[in-house]
Copies of this chain bind each other. A is one copy, B any other.
């Protein structure tokens, strides 16, 4: 007996050609997870469309069949936003990889969703421009994925997130229509809600990105402090002075140790924390502000200024390798992603230390210090029974700390499947209902990346409407 998914698979093959449809179980396994590898689920069907029209056809087929679908770019996301459904279709944008237009006078480019983040920069660099969002996965992640997750990066302190660099998106709605969303201009700014909706409001098929001019100059320093607190004070002093560095990154002793073990970055020995501060812009401005930053890092026991690109790359090497490097000092780890007000940095870090001491679970801290985005790496040994659970507990407690300090449960990795259960700690029921309402507007059948972002998947009919009491005009029939 043919199953519903078999029929759908055959129809998709007829529509797209068999080379664009994967149903072979071995090949399907490739897609069972994204960067959040502790959640896995093999999709029933994978499709690799070439065009917006094909994406729209696929979506309409899924809607007609009542089958859920999930879009996937390069699969580098860290919250399981592209985790497939075993009973559904995975729509992979890897074949939609054309840069359609580069408009230098207009400072914009139009790209397909599968285009690799760094390839945008490569295409426009000869003209003195680049694409500003720089997640650490930028060599492999796709612009479509950046749009779904509203990706940040080390330089989003000054340059903002993906949302600030997207001018328009062509989108296949969950009802299979192709629409154009723009930020400026009349009518509703639906681009804002689409970017960062983690693929729950439709699939982007064409993205107009803003291009940023390569700054005249870039200067980078590494400052080594005795303690995290001293480093934190320097961060507050820099921001408080009105300097907006391109990046301020902080690493604690444990993450320095890991980086050292992995890539021999040769950061100053004995540092309790290092800060990497990068300034960019016009030569004259950078020179003046750089001197101020050096002064504000006065408590550092060592400051190294990169004399050239090679030295700059060396300073960044430790930071960029930090996540992977932690593998050298721990068999397994959880990458947490939370946000706190910059001003709470010292107190939250002290509380994380205390959590670690109490539980015996080691935590390495790496963070975008300038915007209060913490990436604690919670270490554990997966060979020890119960160790992962203990690590999960500490990891969750760190999120609680973030919420308690008026922060957020995610800075740039998204909610996905990973953090949907924390949403009610940040939002009231009314807040979540308002979001659901929008979701149900876009996706009345609940087939577009279901099970992500929201804590309790509900059918759209269950979202409460107007709450009425007894009708106050009852009995006043003459009024109507």
Contacts and interface: CB of A to CB of B under 8 A. Distances in A.
A431 to B, nearest CB: 5
Interface stretch (A35-43, A323-331, A409-417): A409-417
A178 B430 contact: yes
Interface in A183-211: 183-193, 195-197, 201
Interface stretch (A46-54, A352-360, A436-444): A436-444
Given A284-B284, A480-B4, A197 B186 contact: no
Nearest to A160: B164
Contacts of A422: 186
Contact of A163 (B178, B179, B189, B468): B189
A64 B105 contact: no
A270 interface: no
A44 to B, nearest CB: 14
A175 B466 contact: yes
A63 B465 CA distance: 12
Contact of A410 (B178, B186, B190, B442): B186
B240 A186 contact: no
Nearest to A479: B4
Nearest to A196: B189
Nearest to A281: B285
Nearest to A215: B242
A423 B186 contact: yes
Contacts of A287: 284
A185 B426 contact: yes
Nearest to A471: B64
Interface residues of A, number: 89
A185 B466 CA distance: 27
Contacts of A479: 2-4, 7
A247 B380 CA distance: 54
B428 A180 contact: yes
A431 B197 CA distance: 18
Interface in A408-465: 408-410, 414-415, 419, 422-423, 426-428, 430-435, 437-442, 444-445, 453, 465
A441 B438 contact: yes
Contact of A465 (B175, B185, B437, B439): B175
B187 A453 contact: yes
A469 B64 CA distance: 9
Contact of A187 (B61, B106, B432, B465): B432
A400 to B, nearest CB: 14
A478 interface: yes
Interface in A103-153: 105-106, 128, 150
28 contacts: A2-B479, A7-B472, A7-B479, A11-B472, A64-B471, A163-B189, A163-B192, A173-B434, A175-B467, A176-B467, A178-B430, A179-B428, A185-B426, A186-B414, A186-B419, A186-B426, A187-B426, A188-B197, A189-B193, A189-B197, A190-B434, A190-B438, A192-B192, A282-B285, A284-B285, A434-B442, A438-B438, A441-B441
Give 7 nearest A-B pairs by CB, closest first: A192-B192, A441-B441, A284-B284, A285-B285, A185-B408, A437-B441, A186-B415
Given A7-B479, A186-B423, A187-B423, 20 more contacts: A63-B466, A64-B472, A128-B242, A163-B192, A175-B465, A179-B434, A180-B431, A185-B426, A186-B410, A186-B453, A187-B435, A190-B435, A191-B192, A193-B438, A213-B242, A284-B285, A285-B285, A437-B441, A437-B442, A444-B466
